[in-house]
Structure 1
């Protein structure tokens, strides 16, 4: 039956590296053999999968769709084998995408537990923006993502936890005198610091700033929560931070004053998101439980 599973693996690997020679080296096959296999698939399907040139091998428009479907088929076969072995997603490789505002603070404890309890799992983590996570999920580049559910329509969502927001400011800021929760209205006229527009957090902060009568800084857009915190510590404005990050900072001692933001809309939902297949991937419910448990430990 053509294309074979091995040929599908070749197609996906070339799409990911963009170079036939590099792919051949990674897969431990000769470049002529790999090229011949790709040509055989193209002949069988009657379409060109890649545009080959000096810059590498780039999927054609139909090639992009074939690559996406090849990934899906390979995932299904992987699930079939894992189900037969009784360990679901924990037997094999899981490509997990996560928001940068969550991954470094939630995942270390999760990874340790998974390594201890499920040593056969090979977890591959990718920290990416909201937009890139959605593209990765749709294309099959990622198996699951930890993200805000509203940004992944048409997918399966498993609620993990709800995060509240905190504000961080320089230690000499007028609002740094107290550790009590602060009402949104108190932030009128303040400058809000946030990530770039590719991240859901930036839209949340923009909404909060508008309702508070403040402004979002147009002089600085951070690429990480640490960068935003450092700008706030230097007096550039007020950083709005998710609770998992704020709790982590509070434990280690920090260079900013932290106060919880008291507002009903100052929350974000976090979910484990996967493609909307007839059934969720076997073991994803257990992974969700582990993620929830770790989030509760951090926020306690």
Structure 2
């Protein structure tokens, strides 16, 4: 017969209370049931654990086994607590992969509330362009993706919000001085910095501008550094240009129907941990006010 956790619990209770009656009351069992389980434990070990039938004194072997039983019962209790915390989404890890503008403008208040409500959950947030977010999801490095993403087999995709594209240039650039609503024609002959989102813009008049670009930069911070250095202008969603990014202008584009769409993408629900499912629910429930 294998040693069961109930045997250890019974033995510890008898040792703590010094009697079968006291142990039975503590465990909510009858004294005869406690006596039977203790006898099974001693038979398995092949030696007595108490010096007398009164159970008030442990044998030397009983003293050693009591220390091991106490350690094992504490470990078992911690394991049960951890399992239950994971099932209630009170513990665990959530891996998020999202575009920089979403990480900077959308996620902070969501994460602040989530962490306050579930301090036992660890969040790993990675910001990257949409192609990298897609790879993170497919290769299993992310539980939740937030980016401009296509439909993918095996993944659930939900539209979170959309925002407009505009030309971004340094303050003082000729486009900023003379135009409120620029057109693709205004970018003819202007040095243009391409970025990962440009592939989402399908306007026919934009394609020659993209084809003529000599510089592709994917990271938003690097794009802004290039703009500040006078390397050209670019096209970004409005949300990508945060208020704290000083020295730049966002110029709305006239006669453009394309909008940047940001999707919440997750694997099938059965593949998500309770903590990741709860995080996805928090993102869905958040009020996201994307600028028009």
Bin of the TM-score, shorter chain as denominator length:
0.5 to 0.7
Q: 1:191 to 1:215 in 2, by over 3 A?
A: farther
Counterpart position of 2:215: 220
Which one has a larger percent strand, Structure 1 or Structure 2?
A: 1
Question: How far apart are residue 274 of structure 1 and its match?
Answer: 0.6
* Unaligned 5+ runs, structure 1: 1-79
Matched, 1:146 2:146: yes
- Whether the 8 Å CA contact 2:194–2:213 is kept in 1: the answer is no
- Whether the 8 Å CA contact 1:181–1:259 is kept in 2: the answer is yes
State how far apart, in whole Å, the 2-side matches of 1:101 and 1:217 are: 26
Task: Report how many residues are paired.
Answer: 206
Q: Of residues 232, 239, 256 in structure 2, which corresponds to 1:237?
A: 232
Counterpart position of 2:25: none
Q: 1:212 to 1:262 in 2, by over 3 A?
A: farther
Deviations 1:51-96 (A, max 9, x none): xxxxxxxxxxxxxxxxxxxxxxxxxxxxx956842x4xx6421111
Counterpart position of 1:108: 108
State how far apart, in whole Å, the 2-side matches of 1:175 and 1:210 are: 18
State how far apart, in whole Å, the 1-side matches of 2:151 and 2:179 are: 33
Q: 1:128 to 1:252 in 2, by over 3 A?
A: closer
State how far apart, in whole Å, the 1-side matches of 2:210 and 2:98 are: 28
- Whether the 8 Å CA contact 2:193–2:214 is kept in 1: the answer is no
SS state at 2:150 partner: helix
State how far apart, in whole Å, the 1-side matches of 2:145 and 2:154 are: 14
State how far apart, in whole Å, the 2-side matches of 1:179 and 1:81 are: 60
* Unaligned 5+ runs, structure 2: 1-82
Question: How far apart are residue 213 of structure 1 and its match?
Answer: 4.6
State how far apart, in whole Å, the 2-side matches of 1:151 and 1:101 are: 21
Counterpart position of 1:270: 262
Counterpart position of 2:31: none
State how far apart, in whole Å, the 2-side matches of 1:101 and 1:253 are: 12
- Whether the 8 Å CA contact 1:192–1:209 is kept in 2: the answer is no
> Could you tell me the TM-score, scaled by structure 1's length?
0.58
SS state at 1:299 partner: coil
Greater radius of gyration (CA) = 2
Question: How far apart are residue 279 of structure 1 and its match?
Answer: 8.8
